[in-house]
Amino acid sequence: MQTAKLSVASLLLIYTDYRDGVFSYLTAREQALCRRRAKVERLLAWKQKLDAEEREIERLEKEAVHGGVASGRASSANDSTVSG
């Protein structure tokens, strides 16, 4: 079985003959892909924003817990010193 080799000129003629249908299909497909990419990029940006917000909240929670324990210890130590 032989494979047909097409010259550049032949390819251009084929492209010219089918360009309206094929080109519009490729353009529509390309547009659909661009829309999908934009949607995914928006979702990723949103996810990154939520992840950053969650990390900040976790940091604040840890600070509140550890800060509360440290200040609680200090106040109880002061209470025993004052009363004792």
Give tens-digit pLDDT for 17-62: 565 666 677 788 889 999 999 999 999 999 999 999 999 999 999 9
Predicted confidence (pLDDT) at residue 74 exceeds the cutoff of 90: no
Calpha distance 19→15 (Å, rounded): 5
Per-residue pLDDT, 25: 73
Single-letter residue type at 3:
T
Mean pLDDT along residues 2-31: 68
Per-residue pLDDT, 41: 97
| Greater model confidence, 5 or 15 | 5
Calpha distance 13→79 (Å, rounded): 94
**pTM here?**
0.48
